[in-house]
Amino acid sequence: MKWDEKTFAKFSYLSDVRISRDGNQVAYVMTKANLKTDKYDNTVIIESLKNGERKFIENATMPRFSPDGNKMSVVRISEEKKTSELWLYDLRSMSGKKIGEYENIINVQWGPDSRRILITDFKRRGDEYLYFEDKTPVWFDMKGFLDGEKTMLQLIDSESEEVIDTIAIESFALPYFNVAVWHGDKIVYNVPKEENPYKLFDIFIYEDDKSEKIFGNVSFRAVDSNGKLLVLHGKPKKDKLSEHDYLYIWDSEEVKPLTEKFIYNNGMAKLDKTGSVYFTMAKEGRINLHKLSGNELIPIVEENAWVMEFDVSDNGKIVLLKQTDTMPSEVFLWDGELKQLTEYNGPILSKLKRRPIKHFRFKSLDLELDSWYIKPDIKEGEKAPVIVFVHGGPKGMYGYYFKYEMQLLADKGFYIVFVNPRGSNGYDEGFALRVLERTGLEDFQDIMNGIEEFFKLEPQADKERVGITGISYGGFMTNWALTQSDLFKAGISENGISYWLTSYAFSDIGLWFDKEVIGENPLENENYKKLSPLFYAENVKAPILIIHSLEDYRCPLDQSVMFYHVLKDLGKEAYIAIFKKGAHGHSIRGSPRHRAKRYKLIMEFFKRKLVEGKEGFNVEEVLKEE
DSSP label at residue 313: -
- Of 177 and 216, more confident: 216
Partners of 278 in the β-ladder: 270, 291
Query: Distance (Å, rounded) from C-alpha 509 to C-alpha 552?
Result: 12
Q: Which residues contact 526 (CB under 8 A, 6 or more apart)?
A: none
Q: What is the pLDDT of residues 491-513, one digit of tens each?
A: 999 999 999 999 999 999 999 99
Query: Helix 404-411 to helix 592-606 angle, to the nearest 10 degrees?
Result: 40
Q: Is residue 149 left, alpha or beta, with left meaning phi > 0 and alpha meaning psi from -120 to 50?
A: beta
pLDDT at position 625: 61
Query: Helix 442-457 to helix 473-484 angle, to the nearest 10 degrees?
Result: 80
Query: Distance (Å, rounded) from C-alpha 246 to C-alpha 282?
Result: 11
Out of 18-32, 52-66, 79-93, which region has the weakest mean confidence (pLDDT)?
79-93
**3-class SS string, 411-455:** HCCCEEEEECCCCCCCCCHHHHHCCCCCCCCHHHHHHHHHHHHHH
| pLDDT confidence tier of residue 328, bands split at 50, 70 and 90 | very high
Instruction: Mark 333-362 as b/e (b = at least 16 C-beta within 10 Å).
Output: bbeeeeeebbebbeeebeebebbebeebeb
Q: How do the residues of the chain divide into helix, strand and coil, expressed in percent and rounded to 5?
A: 20, 40, 40
Is residue 123 pLDDT above 80, yes or no?
A: yes
Query: Distance (Å, rounded) from C-alpha 137 to C-alpha 513?
Result: 12
| pLDDT confidence tier of residue 177, bands split at 50, 70 and 90 | confident
Pick the CATH number of 355-622 from 3.40.50.2300, 3.40.50.300, 3.40.50.1820, 3.40.50.970: 3.40.50.1820
> Cβ(444)–Cβ(484) under 8 Å?
yes
Question: What mean pLDDT, rounded, does the chain reach?
Answer: 96
| Percentage of the chain exceeding pLDDT 90 | 95
Residue type, 567: L
pLDDT at position 174: 86
| Percentage of the chain exceeding pLDDT 70 | 100
| pLDDT confidence tier of residue 79, bands split at 50, 70 and 90 | confident
For the residues 518-526, what does the mean pLDDT come to? Answer: 97
Q: What is the pLDDT of residues 577-595, one digit of tens each?
A: 999 999 999 999 999 999 9
| pLDDT confidence tier of residue 481, bands split at 50, 70 and 90 | very high
> Cβ(221)–Cβ(230) under 8 Å?
no
pTM for the complete prediction?
Answer: 0.96
First to last CA, the chain: 19
Structural domain boundaries of the chain? 177-258, 355-622
Q: What is the pLDDT of residues 34-68, one digit of tens each?
A: 999 999 999 999 999 999 999 999 999 999 999 99
Q: Which residues contact 115 (CB under 8 A, 6 or more apart)?
A: 157, 158, 159
pLDDT at position 9: 97
Query: Distance (Å, rounded) from C-alpha 60 to C-alpha 31?
Result: 10
Is residue 403 pLDDT above 90, yes or no?
A: yes
Is residue 626 pLDDT above 70, yes or no?
A: no
